[in-house]
């Protein structure tokens, strides 16, 4: 029961303050990984990869994944993992649902208010900062090993090469027209091939 209350509290808080989309939930999830044993920084990088590769909003996918892992790691049961996944997802969505209902009632009355305009103007750079911090967190986990004993071991060479290749491919003009799923599928195939041949 305590786990469910923890998930409700933590994911409601994330949903309340993570303005700007799914990527802005990453700093909050990173904080959860430091507080609870059922979530790790490595799992967060896996969540980003899975959430970006599957249909649906990123934040909801990540909440579902984190909630499932919390239930599975704590109870050792996939069925209870589903219930904790649903709890985390509903808790993440609830603040947005409540706020939108309130905003819909009040927007017509206050949409021209300079206070509302000023609030949105200051939210934008804050959200950009949150997303930048989240991006650095993912880069630090995926491309570098900061706990390595030597300087050379601090770089994850196969991941860095794949990252560089994807940066080049996604900026070639004819390839920009391709659907993002093409690049995701390409990266997945590369990961499988490298994993089975060279090893990560």
133 located within any domain? no
pLDDT tens digits for range 4-49 = 999 999 999 988 887 666 677 778 888 888 888 888 888 887 777 7
Q: What is the 3-state secondary structure (H, E, C) of the chain?
A: CHHHHHHHHHHHHHHHHCCCCHHHHHHHHHHHHHHCCCCCHHHHHHHHHHHHHCCCCHHHHHHHHHHHHHHHHHHCCHHHHHHHHHHHHHHHHHHHHHHHHHHHHHHHHHCCCHHHHHHHHHHHHHHHHHHHHHHHHHHHHHCECCCCCCCHHHECHHHHHHHHHHHHHCCCHHHHHCCHHHHHHHHHHHHHHHHHHCCC
Show the domain range for 94: 2-107
CB atoms within 10 A of CB 54: 12
pLDDT tens digits for range 188-199 = 888 888 778 876
65 located within any domain? yes
Q: What is the pLDDT of residue 19?
A: 66
112 located within any domain? no
pLDDT tens digits for range 163-178 = 898 889 888 988 888 8
Beta bridge partners of 144: 155
Say if residues 81 and 3 touch (Cβ distance below 8 Å): no
- CA–CA distance from 125 to each of 23, 56, 60, 129 (Å)? 14, 25, 23, 6
72 located within any domain? yes
Say if residues 61 and 22 touch (Cβ distance below 8 Å): yes
188 located within any domain? yes
One domain for residues 167 and 77? no
pLDDT tens digits for range 37-78 = 888 888 887 777 777 777 777 778 888 888 998 899 888 888
One domain for residues 7 and 98? yes
Higher pLDDT, 92 or 123: 92
Q: What is the pLDDT of residue 68?
A: 92
pLDDT tens digits for range 132-170 = 877 787 787 778 877 776 777 788 888 888 889 888 988
Q: What is the pLDDT of residue 104?
A: 77
140 located within any domain? no
Instruction: Find the helix packing angle between 41-53 and 180-197, rounded to 10°.
Output: 130
One domain for residues 93 and 178? no
């Amino acid at each position: 029961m305590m786990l469910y209350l923890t998930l409700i509290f933590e994911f409601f808080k994330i949903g309340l303050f993570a303005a700007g989309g799914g990527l802005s939930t990453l700093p909050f999830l990173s904080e959860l990984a430091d507080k609870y044993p059922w979530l790790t920084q490595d799992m967060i990088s896996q969540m980003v990869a899975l959430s970006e590769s599957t249909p649906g909003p990123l934040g909801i996918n990540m909440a579902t994944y984190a909630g499932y892992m919390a239930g599975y790691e704590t109870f050792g049961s996939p069925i209870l993992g589903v219930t904790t996944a649903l709890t985390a997802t509903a808790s993440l969505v609830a603040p947005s649902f409540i706020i939108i209902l309130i905003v819909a009632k009040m927007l017509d009355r206050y949409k021209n208010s300079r206070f509302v305009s000023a609030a949105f103007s200051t939210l934008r750079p804050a959200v950009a900062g949150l997303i930048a911090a989240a991006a650095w967190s993912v880069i630090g986990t995926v491309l570098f090993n900061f706990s390595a004993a030597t300087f050379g071991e601090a770089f994850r060479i196969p991941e860095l090469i794949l990252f560089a290749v994807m940066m080049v491919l996604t900026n070639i003009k004819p390839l920009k027209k391709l659907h993002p799923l093409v690049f995701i599928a390409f990266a997945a195939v590369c990961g499988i091939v490298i994993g089975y041949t060279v090893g990560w």
